[in-house]
Amino acid sequence: MIRSVCILLSFYLSLGVGAYGKDSSVSLRTAPYPGKGSPEESLTITARPDDAEVELDMDEYLYGHVRDSYEWHITTVKGKPVSIPLPVILISKTGRGVHVFSSRHLEEGEYQGFRIATEGKYENKIVERGADGNEIRPWDFSVTKNVLGLMINSILLVLIVLGTARWYRRHDASEEAPAGGTGIMEMMVTMVEDDIIKDCVGEDYKRYSPYLLTAFFFIFINNLMGIVPFFPGGANITGNIAVTLVLALFTFFTVNIFGNKHYWKDILWPDVPTWLKVPVPLMPVIEIIGMFTKPFSLMVRLFANILAGHFMILGVIAVIFLTAKMGAAVNGGLTVVAIVLGVFMDCLELLVAFIQAYVFTMLSAVFIGLSRQKPETN
Amino acid sequence: MSLITPDFGLLVWMTLIFGIVFFVLAKWGFPMITDSVQKRADRINESIAKAREAEERLRNLASEQDALVEMARKEQAAILKEAAASRDALIEQAKVQARDEAAKILDQARTQIAAEKESALRDVRKEVAVLSVAVAEKVLRKELGDGSGRDELLGRLVEELSSSEDLKN
């Protein structure tokens, strides 16, 4: 089984690195990311055979890969971007009602009074014009690349978990043990439950185990799909602050809604010398700030780790294109180095994908455990 | 920087999607798996406990068996001993009885022999008496026949007889 996993992994990685390279090379040689801007601008980063100057717009290359977008750019074939147009759903703030249309219409510029801002506060976001000519951001509920990625990954996760659960419904688990995919899932579920949830939450872990398991597998599958460089994957989901913010908020509410009396007493009236609490409530203030810094750290940790991972892989691959004009020898040599490094980074990201899911779940479990602690009896 | 400002639309979608995923998995997914695994773990623990108990019982059974065999052997020895004793006693008794019987038979034979002897002696004595009387008769007749000294003789004989009679009595 270990061997088959290894083969799968190496296959996955070779695909990954290859596709990153291909994707980048194609996108660099041709038109910029949709919504980037005017055709004149695109010429500066174009590397046609007759064009001596090869300019790599590093910012656009890096941010274009990690940010959310209104369409899902897959690749570019012969100068034409191949992308999946996604539905745009807008509620106008200037009283023009609800608008639903395909993101394809935005490629040409303004559509129904909406366009993608090229600069300023709302760069790369859809804006409309207010009465005074200012750019106003409408209520934007578009199914963006990240939303579609979330949906695909969630469906995948639900199918995997319900498929596993179905095995248990059809078999007597106390008579036989599952093999194959169900076995792997059982191993992972048991690992999370035994190593993280039982240890960190304490007595009434059963109540929190569905949430923590969901959080673990949700983060894990989104991290993994983020490393896959082509269509169903490749969206930088867990490296998006909105996603990690929601996850952190779920943990925040779980901790504070189900916190017991002792937890609140520890925040509002901790066991410290009285002068630290009265008249200046120093410790309570620190504790209350702590209530918010805990989920904040959860949010930032996951976001930053995954985003940094994406940046590192993209950076390593960019070496190939940055050295393109330095001659065949240098470029060839550095390409080999970049691919070796890319394989290494992808392996590292696999590890990080697991570790970050593990850490998020473990810290959530620890915070929940702290909010359920019983007062120490002397 | 748009990277660190959460987008409202994505926030809403993420909340919705994660909420649905959480609901579905918490209702039909994970509890089923964790409960089944828990059930299996319980069953394995239970089986181990049972196996241990059975082993313990088996061990007890063996020692019990040993005790039983030991007891049977002891009983066997006791029975054998008793049998030997009773056999000896029986033989002893038989011997005594046989000796008694033999003694009795001997006694009987002795008395019978004595009686036979007596009766034989008596017969002989009777015969001798008859013979002696006959002889005496003949002698007397001869003596008395010539007549001399008949009276004297008669007298002496009577005297002798009476004296012998006296002696006898």
pLDDT digits (tens, 9 = 90+) for A351-372: 999 999 999 999 999 999 999 8
- Could you say which residues from 57 to 76 on chain A have a Cβ atom under 8 Å away from some Cβ of chain B? 63, 66-68
Q: B33 and A164: CB-CB below 8 Å?
A: yes
Does the structure show a pLDDT above 70 at A131? yes
CB < 8 Å to A162, chain B? 24-25, 28-29
What would the pLDDT profile of A289-336 be if each residue is shown by its tens digit? 999 999 999 999 999 999 999 999 999 999 888 888 888 899 999 999
Does the structure show a pLDDT above 70 at A19? no
Q: How far is CA A63 from CA A69, A234, A239, B2, B13, in A?
A: 11, 13, 12, 10, 22
- Could you say which residues from 96 to 125 on chain A have a Cβ atom under 8 Å away from some Cβ of chain B? 123-125
Does the structure show a pLDDT above 90 at A77? no
3-state secondary structure of A32: coil
d(CA A302, CA A82) in angstroms, rounded, equals 31
Look at residue A173 in the predicted model and tell me its pLDDT: 80
Does the structure show a pLDDT above 60 at A29? no
CB-count exposure of residue A19 (10 Å: 0-12, 13-18, 19+): middle
What would the pLDDT profile of B38-96 be if each residue is shown by its tens digit? 999 999 999 999 999 999 999 999 999 999 999 999 999 999 999 999 999 999 999 99
Confidence of residue A247 (pLDDT cuts 50, 70, 90): very high
Look at residue B167 in the predicted model and tell me its pLDDT: 66
What would the pLDDT profile of A248-267 be if each residue is shown by its tens digit? 999 999 999 998 888 998 88
CA distance A370 to chain B (A): 23
- The 10 Å CB-count burial string (b at 16+, else e) for B52-89 is eeeeeeeeeeeeeeeeeeeeeeeeeeeeeeeeeeeeee
ipTM of the complex: 0.82
% residues pLDDT > 70 (chain A): 85
d(CA A72, CA A243) in angstroms, rounded, equals 18
Q: A141 and B32: CB-CB below 8 Å?
A: no
Q: B5 and A241: CB-CB below 8 Å?
A: yes
Does the structure show a pLDDT above 60 at A22? no
> Among A13-27, A117-131, A141-155, A316-330, which stretch is predicted with the lowest mean pLDDT?
A13-27
Nearest residue in A to B17, CA atom: A151
- The radius of gyration of chain A's CA atoms, rounded to the nearest angstrom, is 25
d(CA B154, CA B168) in angstroms, rounded, equals 20
Q: What is the mean pLDDT of chain B?
A: 89
Q: B22 and A210: CB-CB below 8 Å?
A: yes
Nearest residue in B to A215, CA atom: B22
d(CA A37, CA A124) in angstroms, rounded, equals 9
CA distance B67 to chain A (A): 40
CA distance B10 to chain A (A): 6
Picking from A161, A182, A187 by the largest number of B CB atoms within 10 A of its own CB, the best residue to mutate is A161
d(CA B78, CA B84) in angstroms, rounded, equals 10
Q: Report yes or no: A250 at the B interface, CB cutoff 8 Å.
A: yes
Q: Which residue has the higher pLDDT, B111 or A76?
A: B111
Q: What is the DSSP string of A173-224?
A: TTT----HHHHHHHHHHHHIIIIIIHHHH-TTHHHHHHHHHHHHHHHHHHHH
Alpha helices in chain A (DSSP H): 2-29, 39-44, 58-66, 145-170, 180-191, 198-201, 205-227, 241-257, 261-268, 282-322, 328-371
Does the structure show a pLDDT above 90 at A120? no
CB < 8 Å to B7, chain A? 68, 125, 140, 242
Look at residue A12 in the predicted model and tell me its pLDDT: 44
What would the pLDDT profile of B93-123 be if each residue is shown by its tens digit? 999 999 999 999 999 999 999 999 999 999 9
Evaluate whether A294 touches A236 at the Cβ level (below 8 Å).
no
Does the structure show a pLDDT above 50 at A340? yes
